[in-house]
Amino acid sequence: MPARFSIVIIVLFWLAATTWLVYREFMPEQRAGDPPPVRIDLPDEAGRHVVWSAYRGERRICTLDTWVEYLRKDDTYKLHSYFHPQESVGRDGFLLPKLKGMDSMYRITREGELREIESTLTLQVPLEEDKHSEIKAVVKGRVENGSLVPRWQIDIPSELQSLLGLKLPESGLSLETAAVAVPQRGGILNPLQPVNALRGVHEGQTWEMPLFDPIGDSLSAYLGKKAAVPFVRAEVKAAGEPLLWNESPETCLIIDYEGKDFAARTWVRASDGKVLQHETTLQGDHLVLKRNRD
């Protein structure tokens, strides 16, 4: 049986992984010779909905919906993603949680400044043969005075609490983790999540980006750990051969991301910047996202 409160830590870890943002700080003027940054054209993206199929090896494990919502009242954008497995993802075994669904959103300005985050995670926990329980966890946070404070709400059914030796309030477990300072400038990109299209992609570009993980950093501070800011190095290359997409060969550029225990690759169609495929390797786990036909 998992150690006491271990299920809560698992939930927090999963939620931290859903909002891993990348900020690139800019000088007031670009240095001569620097390549233009790869960017998301937010006004063009608003209202666009893209569906992806995710594969581990040859097996399709889930679909991922991504879309951008424009908020006229404050001229900001919500970047949404909804992950729903074809089957529960995780290890088999008594009280070993499996991912059932994950919904995340982060709200940003036109300049890429973070304003708000929200993620909802649902885990399915096997109790006995043909019987399961579910854990739901929600984390929310707004940027106020340059800082973001994640606020957590975790609901665990009473029968599962009994098995884990927990006693939570009827309203569930509510807590705040440490405040995190938020960068005030920079383009925002998430190498763990594909987007509809990327602009300004040219062969030979290279750049480095500090990873800003507000939830993970806040959780580390709450647990008494100091989190170092990791970097990702990106390089744009020409694809050695066309990518077969919907049974048609497509000429693409490839963005390779590399960092500690992390690698990602994004296939961008050369003709229009549309993202057709995205691959991620995180701590040895390789996942491929293929864009469905529009």
Concatenating the DSSP letter of every residue in 102-157 gives: EEEEEEEETT--EEEEEEEEEEEEEEETTEEEEEEEEEEEEEETTEE--EEEEE--
d(CA 217, CA 150): 10
What is the average pLDDT across 19-36? 49
pLDDT of 33 strictly over 50: no
Where does residue 18 fall: left (phi above 0), alpha (psi -120 to 50 degrees), or beta otherwise?
alpha
Contact 88, 99 (CB under 8 A): yes
Q: What are phi and psi of 145, to 5 degrees?
A: 55, 40
Name 276's Cβ contacts closer than 8 Å, sequence gap at least 6. Answer: 243, 245, 250, 252, 267, 268, 269, 290, 291
pLDDT tens digits, one per residue of 203-228:
999 888 877 788 878 888 887 887 67
> Can you give the pTM of this predicted structure?
0.83
- The amino acid at 215: I
Higher pLDDT, 69 or 95: 69
d(CA 39, CA 199): 5
pLDDT score for 238: 94
Q: Which residue has the tokens 């109790």?
A: 127
Sequence spans of domains, the chain? 6-291
pLDDT of 11 strictly over 50: yes
pLDDT tens digits, one per residue of 127-171:
877 788 888 999 999 999 999 999 999 998 888 888 878 888 888
Give the closest residue to 117 by CA, choosing from 228, 265, 17, 257: 17
Q: Which residue has the tokens 């594969």?
A: 55
Name 77's Cβ contacts closer than 8 Å, sequence gap at least 6. Answer: 42, 45, 46, 68, 69, 70, 71, 107, 108, 109, 110
**What length is written for the chain?**
294
pLDDT of 286 strictly over 50: yes
In 165-294, alpha helices (H) = 214-222
d(CA 155, CA 14): 15
Distance, C-alpha 83 to centroid of its chain: 10
Higher pLDDT, 263 or 188: 263
- Coil, helix or strand at residue 207: strand
pLDDT score for 194: 82
pLDDT of 89 strictly over 60: no
- Helices 6-17 and 214-222, axial angle in degrees (round to 10): 150
d(CA 75, CA 73): 6
Mean predicted lDDT score pLDDT of the chain: 81
